[in-house]
Amino acid sequence: MNMIDLIIWPLLAAFVLTGIHVYLGLHVVTRGVIFVDLALAQVAALGAAIGIIMGLDHDGHLSYFFALSFTFIGAAFFAYVRTHEQKIPQEAIIGITYVVSAAAMILFFSKSAEGAEHLNHLLVGSILFVSPEKVGFTALLYGIIGWIHWKYRHAFFQASQSHLDSGKIEKTTRYWDFLFYVTFGFVVTSSVKIAGVLLVFSFLIIPTVAALLFKQSVKSRLIFGWIFGMVGSFLGMFLSIGFDVPTGASIVVTFGSMLALLGIYHSLKH
């Protein structure tokens, strides 16, 4: 089996993740809640961890819906606490949610004989061993979510930009906030199953930040971010196989290195 045969499905999975996460990343950066993906991913991982402790198959449907239910609770919570006038910044609440969920997951796995293995899987994933069926299901799910966001794109972007306006958030905005976080929850839960918490966060933020350095319009930022994510995913997988290191971590470091080089180029250019 040559390298292309080995990475074709993992690479397609990475492209699917790049497609939806770069778009959602633009919303997250606009909202100023950079770590919401990391927090929701960790909440999903906590749900999956509890399911595993209860004896559910990690790759089974029950485990998926168990993790999804936890993510929906987190999504509803984040949508509820987002207001203009609040004593505690939402980013602080998101950070607290992340660290408590991570600590709880460690506690649950501390009494499990295979706890360390499960913990590693939830953090860095196993994208190199993703099945064609899972890639197909994920592509279909993200396609539906992408269509919803495209159809109602003006309402979603208006809700994301509402924190820049003065005054109280309207009920309509809260509705679109909740819908955003619910669809976001579907994406995060599915992505964590494939790629793990760290890689999911990297897909969301790093290509988006790179695009923000060089592009102004939403369309150009999306295209730039997609190219960045696809190139970084291919290079990360290539290096992972070449040096026999974990694929998820390799892609994250590759993304970070590419962003650093682009940042240096941008600084020198300006």
Q: Contact at 8 Å (CB) between 74 and 39? A: yes
DSSP secondary structure string for all residues of 40-82 = HHHHHHHHHHHHHHTT--TTSHHHHHHHHHHHHHHHHHHHHH-
Average pLDDT score over residue span 139-158: 92
Tens of pLDDT, residues 70-79: 988 988 888 7
Question: Domain for residue 116, yes or no?
Answer: yes
Which structure tokens are listed for 239? 């290096």
What stretch of H or E contains 232? helix 218-243
- Specify the number of domains making up the chain: 1
Rounded to two decimals, what is the model's pTM?
Answer: 0.86
Q: Which residue has the higher pLDDT, 122 or 135?
A: 135
Residue with token string 């860095």: 124
Q: Contact at 8 Å (CB) between 229 and 18? A: yes
Tens of pLDDT, residues 114-131: 777 777 777 777 898 999
Say which CATH number the domain at 141 has: 1.10.3470.10
Average pLDDT score over residue span 59-87: 79
Contacts of 74 (CB under 8 A, 6+ apart): 39, 40, 43, 97, 185
- Give the pLDDT confidence score for residue 166 in this predicted structure: 47
- Give the pLDDT confidence score for residue 136 in this predicted structure: 95
Q: Closest by alpha carbon to 231, among 250, 195, 258, 206?
A: 258
Question: Domain for residue 129, yes or no?
Answer: yes
Percentage of the chain surpassing pLDDT 90? 43
Question: Domain for residue 64, yes or no?
Answer: yes
Q: Closest by alpha carbon to 185, among 137, 251, 150, 141?
A: 141
Q: Closest by alpha carbon to 78, among 97, 60, 102, 56?
A: 97
- Give the pLDDT confidence score for residue 82 in this predicted structure: 66
Q: Where are the alpha helices (DSSP H) in 110-170?
A: 115-124, 132-151, 153-161
Contacts of 181 (CB under 8 A, 6+ apart): 40, 75, 76, 78, 79
Strand (E) positions, the chain?
none
Structural domain including 250 reads: 3-265
Cα angle, residue 210 at apex, residues 205 and 213 outer, rounded to 5°: 125
Question: Domain for residue 270, yes or no?
Answer: no
Q: Which residue has the higher pLDDT, 16 or 3?
A: 16
| Cα(17)–Cα(75) distance, integer angstroms | 19
